[in-house]
Chains A and B, each alone.
Chain A
Amino acid sequence: MSEALSQVPLTSYLLVGLILFSVGLYGALTKRNAVIVLLSIELMLNAVNINLVAFAKHGLYPGITGQIFSLFTITIAAAEVAVGVAILMALYRNRGTVQVDKMDLMKR
């Protein structure tokens, strides 16, 4: 299948996804601002979506399912952001900060 060879290989998409995921992970682990942490998490979700869509086209079991699941992920991400931002605002009201390192209620 010569056409396939001329195409962008699956590996490239996966690597893009991996880099995005790693960057997002690093951000989620190091950023103090809760908003940025949320953004980083979105980044990671997007990385996953790239993988899903890429596998929908390439790979052993291609099919529309990958795209559909990426849609689900987007939906959930949207919901997550909505709730996340709401929580942040509630937190800010109650505690006067959105710094992640000030939120250590779990310890007590």
Chain B
Amino acid sequence: MDQMVENAWLIPLFPLAAFVIMVAFGRQLKTTAAYIGILATLASFVLALFTFLERFQEGAETFYQPVHWFSIAGFDVTMGYEVTQLNALMLVIVSLVSMLVHIYSLGYMHGDDRLPVFYQYLALFTFSMLGLVISPNLLQLYIFWELVGVCSFLLVGFYFYKPEARAAAKKAFIVTRIGDVGLFIAIILLFWWTGSFVYNDIFNAVENGVLEPWQITLAAILIFIGAVGKSGQFPLHTWLPDAMEGPTPVSALIHAATMVAAGVYLVAATFDLFAASPTALNVVAYIGGFTAIFAASIGLTQRDIKRVLAYSTVSQLGYMMLALGAAGLIGYAAGIFHLMTHAFFKALLFLAAGSVIHAAHTQNIFEMGGMWKNMKVTGWLFLIGCLAIAGIPPFSGFWSKEEILLSVYHAGRMDLFWIAVLAAFFTAFYMFRLFFVTFTGESNLNHKPEESPVVMTLPMIVLGVLAVVAGFINTPWNPVLGEWLTYGMEGELHVEAPAWISVVTVLFSLAGIGLAWMMYNKKSLSRDWLSGRVPALYQLSYNKYYIDELYDTVFVRPLRGIGIIVNWIDDYVVDGAVRLTGRITDSVAGLGARMQNGQIQTYGLVTVVGLVLLIVGLTVAGGYYK
């Protein structure tokens, strides 16, 4: 074992093994299943960490190992694994968060008799996500891409007896599938245009000008549609807030830290393709920017603690897309950096929220209040998460968000820049609204909430530490991570940006926090101060801009209507034609049957008529044998 990377293929296999074991033994495992899962993810994490450390040096070569899988009409399709800077980092993030969530769930899911099933799904998800990250070609990526989707679907629908969970699971699967089809088409088109599924072959083809510009743009946009679906970007974002029907650890792992980031990862992994098409990049940037502000504005008014976090996730993912699309290589580095820090602090926030829900037995923040007194640890950790996401120095969110804003500014995209700043203001406001309403003031609960057990707080503490310190890996004056990530790629990485940008953004964030403080803690401003003045806007935001209703009227109902109409057609026209044929035959036969009346004389008559006709016919025709 001279090189760790050569064994990277083992990383996803640990959770797979755990999954197989758990399925084989089924529910009789009880909590043993949890320990199997934790052990497997721990093994993955350790291996991923070693791999990462080995990679974390300049000049490390990409490691690529394909094996024959099967042949399509003489063409060898390979499976394999690859270790690059990007996915080495992703491996660590995924396996780490996954491991922490595995541990946390032991406390959160305690007492649920379907605990082994939960851990089966979690293990399968971890396997799929790690497999997705380690894939060296698009086909393999797509396979795992769908698998993580299905795990997400299963976990959202974990409380299958709740109709909301059922609807949410269905919605999650179908909406992401719409995006997946884009990716599906992109993979096929790229295969015919470049003759390969493998990233590197495709990039080489792009570089060598094998593809026409419109082909590159089309392929890139189709891939991006896949990313939009997975990362909950506008207009396919509707599934993500609904997905909060799943158990909270799942929300933390899948719908905040890892799977939804897969869209961002996909764009990053195929960045060379995107880079070749300015149009595609613009699409990415504007969709990302719009989603960032759009989701943030919805987050302002939501009352469900997990839904607020969900919209903040959508918004933050929009940020990453914005960075990837708008700002070239620096944006690429910034986007990935934000992906990493976001994974930590958003997972932290969700786990903390889970801890709160665990104690409060409700998800409506206005039914909580005053949790700080009883839940010091959770409260502190939640505060850390809020500060991080709001972009207050020196928390990790500050550094990554700063990097994004700087890069966008540097790229000269002022429109996008101000959108991002505004989104940051919104973010700060609704996160602290959440914090103040939940943790300060009088308790609205009729029972005394209790602090969560150690098995739940410990993972949160680890994430809390990371949420604080992770930012220092890539400071503007020493972008270690950025340089490492973009090693071997062409482009300018050092940014000369005016210092006022940082000041302005932090001020905006502080303003958001302050506003939230005044409205929800000090109550010097009425809660209805804004919503009372522009109720239309408030309603619009609270109802998520009626997007769900819009989709319902534009797509779902017409589709069902078409279905009913077509069903009618099938019944009466298509099958009707069949029945008509049958009936015609039947009535002709009926005529014949009337002749067949049992009267011997009628038979005789028919015979005679037939004989006469035959003779006449044969006489006229002159007989068959002339």
Direct contact of A and B (CB under 8 A): yes
Residues of A within 8 A of B597 (CB): 104, 107
The answer, yes or no, to whether A82 is at the interface (CB within 8 Å) is: no
Smallest CB–CB gap between B367 and chain A, Å? 80
Main secondary structure of the interface of B (DSSP, over half): helix
Q: Are the CB atoms of A105 and B598 closer together than 8 Å?
A: yes
Chain A residues 4-52 with CB under 8 Å of chain B are 25, 28-30, 37
Cβ-Cβ contact count across A and B, 8 Å cutoff = 27
The answer, yes or no, to whether A86 is at the interface (CB within 8 Å) is: no
B598 in complex: contacting residue of A25, A28, A29, A108, CB < 8 Å: A108
The answer, yes or no, to whether A64 is at the interface (CB within 8 Å) is: no
Q: How far is the CA of A25 from the CA of B598 in the complex (A)?
A: 19
Q: Are the CB atoms of A29 and B596 closer together than 8 Å?
A: no
**Interface size on B (CB < 8 Å)?**
9
Smallest CB–CB gap between A37 and chain B, Å? 8
A100 in complex: contacting residue of B596, B601, B605, B608, CB < 8 Å: B601
Residues of B within 8 A of A100 (CB): 599-601
Q: Which residue of B lies closest to A100 (CB)?
A: B601
Chain B residues 42-70 with CB under 8 Å of chain A are none
Scoring B residues 582 to 601 as 1 if CB is less than 8 Å from chain A, else 0, what string do you get?
00000000000000111111
Q: Are the CB atoms of A29 and B605 closer together than 8 Å?
A: yes
Scoring A residues 69 to 108 as 1 if CB is less than 8 Å from chain B, else 0, what string do you get?
0000000000000000000000000000000110111111
The answer, yes or no, to whether B163 is at the interface (CB within 8 Å) is: no
Residues of A within 8 A of B604 (CB): 28-29
A25-B608, A29-B608 known; A106 and B601 CB under 8 Å? no
Smallest CB–CB gap between A35 and chain B, Å? 14
Q: How far is the CA of A30 from the CA of B600 in the complex (A)?
A: 11
A107 in complex: contacting residue of B596, B601, B605, B608, CB < 8 Å: B596
A106 in complex: contacting residue of B600, B605, B608, CB < 8 Å: B600
Residues of B within 8 A of A30 (CB): 601
Q: Are the CB atoms of A101 and B599 closer together than 8 Å?
A: yes
Smallest CB–CB gap between B601 and chain A, Å? 5
Q: How far is the CA of A107 from the CA of B597 in the complex (A)?
A: 6
Residues of A within 8 A of B608 (CB): 25, 29
Q: How far is the CA of A104 from the CA of B604 in the complex (A)?
A: 14
Residues of B within 8 A of A25 (CB): 608
Smallest CB–CB gap between A36 and chain B, Å? 11
**Interface range, A side:** 10 to 19
Residues of B within 8 A of A106 (CB): 598, 600
Residues of B within 8 A of A101 (CB): 599, 601
Q: Which residue of B lies closest to A25 (CB)?
A: B608
Q: Are the CB atoms of A104 and B599 closer together than 8 Å?
A: yes
Q: How far is the CA of A30 from the CA of B598 in the complex (A)?
A: 15
Smallest CB–CB gap between A60 and chain B, Å? 23
Smallest CB–CB gap between A62 and chain B, Å? 27
Q: How far is the CA of A29 from the CA of B604 in the complex (A)?
A: 7
Smallest CB–CB gap between B375 and chain A, Å? 89
Q: How far is the CA of A108 from the CA of B599 in the complex (A)?
A: 11
Q: How far is the CA of A58 from the CA of B601 in the complex (A)?
A: 35
Q: How far is the CA of A49 from the CA of B598 in the complex (A)?
A: 30
Q: Which residue of A lies closest to B604 (CB)?
A: A29
Smallest CB–CB gap between A25 and chain B, Å? 7
Q: How far is the CA of A30 from the CA of B604 in the complex (A)?
A: 10
Q: Which residue of A lies closest to B601 (CB)?
A: A29
Smallest CB–CB gap between A41 and chain B, Å? 10
Chain B residues 393-440 with CB under 8 Å of chain A are none
Scoring A residues 48 to 70 as 1 if CB is less than 8 Å from chain B, else 0, what string do you get?
00000000000000000000000
Q: Are the CB atoms of A103 and B596 closer together than 8 Å?
A: no
Chain B residues 170-223 with CB under 8 Å of chain A are none
Q: Which residue of B lies closest to A106 (CB)?
A: B598
Smallest CB–CB gap between B602 and chain A, Å? 9
Smallest CB–CB gap between B622 and chain A, Å? 24
Q: How far is the CA of A103 from the CA of B599 in the complex (A)?
A: 7
Q: How far is the CA of A73 from the CA of B600 in the complex (A)?
A: 23
Smallest CB–CB gap between A24 and chain B, Å? 12
Q: How far is the CA of A29 from the CA of B599 in the complex (A)?
A: 10
Smallest CB–CB gap between B248 and chain A, Å? 76
Smallest CB–CB gap between A77 and chain B, Å? 18
Q: How far is the CA of A25 from the CA of B609 in the complex (A)?
A: 12
Q: Which residue of A lies closest to B607 (CB)?
A: A29
A25-B608, A29-B605 known; A107 and B600 CB under 8 Å? no
Among A104, A105, A108, max chain B CB count under 10 A is at A104
Scoring B residues 542 to 572 as 1 if CB is less than 8 Å from chain A, else 0, what string do you get?
0000000000000000000000000000000
Residues of A within 8 A of B605 (CB): 29
Q: How far is the CA of A108 from the CA of B597 in the complex (A)?
A: 9
Smallest CB–CB gap between B326 and chain A, Å? 88
Residues of A within 8 A of B598 (CB): 103-108
Q: Which residue of B lies closest to A32 (CB)?
A: B601
Q: How far is the CA of A37 from the CA of B603 in the complex (A)?
A: 14
Q: How far is the CA of A108 from the CA of B596 in the complex (A)?
A: 10
Smallest CB–CB gap between B379 and chain A, Å? 92
Q: Which residue of A lies closest to B596 (CB)?
A: A107
Q: How far is the CA of A28 from the CA of B604 in the complex (A)?
A: 8
Scoring B residues 132 to 168 as 1 if CB is less than 8 Å from chain A, else 0, what string do you get?
0000000000000000000000000000000000000
Q: How far is the CA of A104 from the CA of B600 in the complex (A)?
A: 8
Q: Which residue of A lies closest to B603 (CB)?
A: A106
Q: Which residue of B lies closest to A28 (CB)?
A: B604
Residues of B within 8 A of A107 (CB): 596-598
Q: Are the CB atoms of B599 and A28 closer together than 8 Å?
A: no
Smallest CB–CB gap between A87 and chain B, Å? 12
Residues of A within 8 A of B599 (CB): 100-101, 103-104
Q: How far is the CA of A29 from the CA of B601 in the complex (A)?
A: 5
Residues of B within 8 A of A29 (CB): 601, 604-605, 608
Among B598, B604, B608, max chain A CB count under 10 A is at B598
Smallest CB–CB gap between B243 and chain A, Å? 69
Residues of A within 8 A of B600 (CB): 100, 103, 106
B contact set with A: CB distance below 8 Å: 596-601, 604-605, 608
Supply 9 further A-B pairs (C-beta < 8 A) apart from A28-B604, A29-B601.
A28-B601, A29-B604, A30-B601, A100-B599, A100-B600, A103-B598, A104-B599, A105-B598, A107-B597
Q: List 13 A-B contacts (CB under 8 A).
A: A25-B608, A28-B604, A29-B601, A29-B608, A30-B601, A37-B601, A100-B599, A100-B600, A100-B601, A101-B599, A103-B598, A104-B597, A105-B598
A contact set with B: CB distance below 8 Å: 25, 28-30, 37, 100-101, 103-108
Closest 3 CB pairs of A and B: A104-B598, A107-B598, A106-B598
